[in-house]
Amino acid sequence: MPRQPGRRQLLRCVVAAMVAGTVDLASSPGQAAGRLADLLAPHILSFLNVHTAEALAVPYGLDGKVVPGAMPAVRHLLHDHHDGSDHEIDSKLLDVLFTIVQSVGGGAHTTLQVLSGYRSPHTNSILRLTDEGVAVNSFHMRGQAIDFYIPGCPLAELHRAALAARGGGVGYYPAHNFIHVDVGPVRQWGSFGGAIPMPMGHESLMVGGRPMHLTPVQARNLAMHRRALMWDHQHRRLMGQ
């Protein structure tokens, strides 16, 4: 358990927060204290990788700083499940996700269902052969993007929270119940229309040169994810975007 800050340390935090512009004491002392408590409280995120069934609940930030020991665990959970490779994850992405979770009224037990985290250049090039919506220089390849949903949270609400966070790019895929978030330039895109028939012949994928068998739910999630990206790209081409 981290030690509670003493009065002198708390005062230093208040001054630092005022200088940084994160706490405005002129608005309301109560609101300022609440904001300061948020800054000092540990930032916890919970993930579930739908492809590997791996779960993680990790306090990644404390007192406005990244907890170094947390990042390797996040890196592993968000690894490329196609070839087993992983990559450093940008902590700014975690900050955006934490803001989104808080905005929708979630907490430490709110689990982000991850469809795609890190994506290796090789995997990205393979996906581009069948999915034109996969970007050449995807932020997934930099450890700066994630595709996810939160069970029980309406996707429209999750989408609004992601846009309000203004942490980077936000993609909206309502037909397949997930959003994309990255920490690139602030921008947005979305797909509209009905659901697309999903191919189900994806029960076995190659991982590290060996077949990996997926459950029907995992196979369907992956197929939905791929087809939604393709459909959105085609839609934008038709609309001249």
3-state secondary structure of 70: helix
One-letter amino acid at 232 equals D
pLDDT at 20 over 50: no
pLDDT at 102 over 90: yes
Say how many domains are in the chain: 2
pLDDT of 158 reads 96
**Structural domain harbouring 18:** 1-36
Q: What is the mean pLDDT of residues 176-181?
A: 91
Q: What is the mean pLDDT of residues 22-50?
A: 64
Is the domain of 153 the same as that of 196?
yes
pLDDT at 76 over 80: yes
pTM of the model: 0.67
pLDDT of 21 reads 42
Is the domain of 195 the same as that of 221?
yes
By CB neighbour count within 10 A (0-12 exposed, 13-18 middle, 19+ buried), where does 40 fall?
A: middle
Is the domain of 7 the same as that of 72?
no
Tokens at 205, concatenated: 């994928």
pLDDT of 54 reads 95
One-letter amino acid at 107 equals G
pLDDT at 2 over 50: no
Is the domain of 18 the same as that of 66?
no
CA–CA gap between residue 92 and residue 167 (Å, rounded): 8
Is the domain of 24 the same as that of 52?
no
Is the domain of 13 the same as that of 77?
no
Is the domain of 204 the same as that of 234?
yes
CB-hemisphere CA count at 13 Å for 27?
Answer: 11
Taking residue 115's Cβ as centre, other Cβ atoms within 10 Å add up to 25
Cβ atoms 149, 113 nearer than 8 A? yes
Is the domain of 215 the same as that of 107?
yes
Is the domain of 2 the same as that of 61?
no
Ranges of H-type helices in the chain = 7-20, 29-40, 71-77, 91-103, 121-130, 155-165, 216-238
